[in-house]
Amino acid sequence: DGDVYKYYADGEWKNSSSGKSVAIINPTTRKTQYKVQACTQEEVNKVMDSAKTAQKSWAKTPLWKRAELLHKAAAILKEHKAPIAECLVKEIAKPAKDAVTEVVRSGDLVSYTAEEGVRILGEGKFLVSDSFPGNQRTKYCLSSKIPLGVILAIPPFNYPVNLAVSKIAPALIAGNSLVLKPPTQGAVSALHMVHCFHLAGFPKGLISCVTGKGSEIGDFLTMHPGVNCISFTGGDTGIAISKKAGMIPLQMELGGKDACIVLEDADLDLVAANIIKGGFSYSGQRCTAVKVILVMESVADVLVEKVKEKVAKLTVGAPEDDCDITPVVSESSANFIEGLVKDAKEKGAKFCQEYKRDGNLIWPLLLDNVRPDMRIAWEEPFGPVLPVIRINSVEEGIHHCNASNFGLQGCVFTKDVNKAILISDAMETGTVQINSAPARGPDHFPFQGLKDSGIGSQGVTNSINMMTKMKTTVINLP
């Protein structure tokens, strides 16, 4: 009906002076579902100004009061799970049940962050000088953590709510203000989530949400002198941001090519179940999805057969019907996935299912006998297509994993825990899961990527720490 969702600034919902909007295409119908404001650079400047002002008094607000407001926001968020989940279904085609889970998980994350914050930020450090050579006990050093200032949060389309609150909550509990630039697909879900923070009664200007075209406000935001820290989750854009950003801390998570190494003694039923969950949940559109299977030749036939049986049972269709496999986020994403599939076909991969596509919907596909000369051996499809590379030694598997430019997570399946730990040590990734598929959660676990997969570490505690700075005061005794 032409209605355009307002953006959020200074504690109010506003129309942009640009008079322009950005359309959000429903991945299932491929028609415009919602429209959001196309904010201008001038509006971004205003948001930055009020974020700076609001932060000054927020930093002086007692920690327990900040926590109280976050707990309130968490409860409101959970109460609003149904309408927010509905937006996730329409904007990013997330299966209905997973969409609800995302919102509930987000509420829990906000509460946990509030609790963790009062504990770790309520503690400081006290040092005395005479432990360092040449010093008498004449200096007392008091350290505590102070906020960085204004945090810019840029979450991706696949978790527009959860990966937004995983930045908002630590920023706020630590005394920062926050400017959110949601992904276009997922912007309306994010605006609804922000509304829950609005209802909780945070001070004006402390949180704002600007929507718009990346081409107009993207670089402007990330290079803005008012930003004191960027927390970004997404794709290659992160690398570009890291080159352009000023001298500020960056927290980044930029995708992965998570390997699943399967040894000869592995429980193959467990492996198959985890490959399905790890490779095909949300149609493979997760940074932590299993993106390449490296299986020992001697057990490969049996494993591929077991996975094939399970793939045949996956339901394919609309997110409203809670199907396992739903349309991927955009037509360009579907085209990219198709490119990888065609390349694998030309180079002789074995198709375990027929390749099938209807609009943005791609049927789940397992590609066996993938070789290193195929693009899919290295590139991230972000879709329901999974390559199998047969290996003749564990070293070969580790070598493939470490030759990747990514290093997010990985997993290894074996009953020999000692071997698993040695393999984990050898894999150049931020996390290795033993006998389970890669995953970020539970959300208080550390989460980080090596190489092109990211900068810094996330997880509740690490995010709070990354959004603070040490401040020390030294008392000099006579």
- Binding residues (CB under 6 A) for ligand G3P: these are 158-159, 286-288, 439-441
Choice between 287 and 385, CB closer to ligand G3P? 287
For residues 89 and 185, give the distance between their C-alpha atoms in angstroms, rounded to a whole number: 11
The distance from CA 365 to its chain's CA centroid, rounded to whole angstroms, is: 24
* Annotated catalytic residue 253: yes
Return the closest-CA partner of residue 158 out of 70, 44, 27: 27
CB of 103 to ligand G3P, least distance (A): 14
- Residue keyed to tokens 């269709």: 317
Helix (H) or strand (E) segment spanning residue 397: helix 394-403
Choice between 275 and 304, CB closer to ligand G3P? 275
CB of 12 to ligand G3P, least distance (A): 31
CB of 177 to ligand G3P, least distance (A): 24
Choice between 50 and 251, CB closer to ligand G3P? 251
User: Within 232-330, where are the H helices?
Assistant: 237-244, 268-280, 297-313
> DSSP readout, 279-300?
HHGGGG-STTSEEEEEEEHHHH
Active-site residue identified among 43, 91, 253, 380:
253
CB of 159 to ligand G3P, least distance (A): 6
Choice between 394 and 439, CB closer to ligand G3P? 439
Buried-state track 90-123, b at ≥16 Cβ within 10 A, e below 16: bbbbbbbebbbebbebbbbbbbbbbebbbebbee
Q: Are strands 150-154 and 177-180 parallel, antiparallel or unpaired?
A: parallel
Choice between 158 and 404, CB closer to ligand G3P? 158
For residues 78 and 110, give the distance between their C-alpha atoms in angstroms, rounded to a whole number: 11
CA 86 vs CA 189, 190, 231: distances in Å:
8, 12, 26
CB of 325 to ligand G3P, least distance (A): 16
Which are the catalytic amino acids?
253
